Amino acid sequence: MTLIQRLVFRKIAVQTVLVFAFVGVIVTTTQVLNQLFRMIDASSSIWVAAQIYVYFLPTITVTVLPLAFLIACINVFDQVDDDRESIVLTGAGAPPRLLLVPAGLLALIVSAAVVTLSLFIEPRSERALQTTFNELTFDALKIIAGDGTLQQVMPSLFVRGGGVTPEGNINGIFILDRRNPNEETTYVAERGVFVEEDERTLLRLENGSIQIRASGARDANKIRFGRFVADPDEMFGRTGGASYSVRQTLTSTLVQGVLNPGTTGLAPPTLVKELVRRTSEWLYPVLFFGICAFLMMRSRFSRGSMRWRLPVAVLIGFAFKAVGLTVIGGAPGSAAFIAAAYLLPVLGAIVFLIAGLRHATQARRSRRSAA
């Protein structure tokens, strides 16, 4: 790259980081604050809040980083036009694509970061986040058990304890689990003991029973036990047979589930939808680069046009993203929807780039004819 291209690349990269830091911090902090009551109920430390913050970052980065790149790209080109640097370059005979090269290179870097996060890091962070939430619920259970009243520890999950002994054991425990719409599970035990194993807290129920009643049925299946040990992921995790939700499922497992239905406990259409989302997210930075290039070449040298380039770019970007999510929502039902999920950002980028370059070429010829 030339000196001016390296300068533009550095400006766009720095502003992308700044915009992402500003927007990403706000969005991530909002998500963490949504879990505030859960952390308070569990008497969590600031370290747990920091863990939750880190686990939210990959998912938020996949969404916010491409938009931050678009905003930074438009803003830098506005600065170049406002400082009349683009006029100097055009007068020296530089083609319009001179300033697009660094933006295009950065778009590829952002795309690489997005595809890495969405395929490999995001599902693992979602798993870690769910495990942390389950452990918070477990910690809250310790406190709730001492109240002696029936309380809801999470939606459709109720717990009542008979008080806590000086040793930390629960005298009598009742757990009602209605999270699965197809059945109702009840745990009743004379005593509950919290034990530490492999740096995790487990709940050991002693001398009790498990009753499982199917939805609409009068009779329940009852299992008696002398000792039953459950960890947070088993007791407060997912219901319905699958260990993880589709967002928490590793990409390799998604592919396996699509090729061999029934191996993951999740419906194949749901797996296809999530797989399409993960493998199409990286195309949007390329689309945003095309939008930026079109607006930059369509409205160069006009101070008035610079006022609307940024809001128009953001609106177009949001519109394409919304349509893309709608298309992905229909992906499980048709191969056409799956193809459209990929073609939408690709064709959009190509159309915007061709339209922008064509306009710039025509403007250049007009100036030559006038001269």
φ and ψ at residue 219, rounded to 5 degrees: -95, 155
Residues 219 and 213 sit within 8 Å (Cβ to Cβ): yes
Decide: helix, strand or coil at residue 102: helix
Decide: helix, strand or coil at residue 300: coil
Handedness of CA 75, 111, 109, 3 (dihedral sign): negative
Decide: helix, strand or coil at residue 240: coil
Q: What pLDDT, on a 0 to 100 scale, did the predictor assign at position 241?
A: 46
Q: What pLDDT, on a 0 to 100 scale, did the predictor assign at position 268?
A: 86
Buried b (16+ CB within 10 A) or exposed e, 59-97: bbbbbbbbbbbbbbbbbbbbebbeeeebeebbeeeeebe
DSSP E strands: which ranges in the chain? 151-154, 157-161, 170-177, 183-197, 200-214, 221-230
How big is the chain by its Cα radius of gyration, in Å?
28
% helix / strand / coil in the chain, to the nearest 5?
A: 65, 15, 20
Q: What pLDDT, on a 0 to 100 scale, did the predictor assign at position 68?
A: 97
Decide: helix, strand or coil at residue 244: coil
- Using CA atoms, how far residue 172 sits from 187, 191, 201, 209, in Å, is 11, 5, 19, 12
C-alpha–C-alpha distance, residues 11 and 76, integer Å? 7
Q: What pLDDT, on a 0 to 100 scale, did the predictor assign at position 216?
A: 84
Give the residue ranges of the chain where pLDDT is below 50. 240-242
C-alpha–C-alpha distance, residues 83 and 69, integer Å? 21
Got the DSSP string for 165-188? -TTS-EEEEEEEE--STTEEEEEE
C-alpha–C-alpha distance, residues 87 and 315, integer Å? 28
166: exposed, middle or buried (Cβ count in 10 Å: 0-12, 13-18, 19+): exposed
Residues 272 and 82 sit within 8 Å (Cβ to Cβ): no
Q: What pLDDT, on a 0 to 100 scale, did the predictor assign at position 281?
A: 96
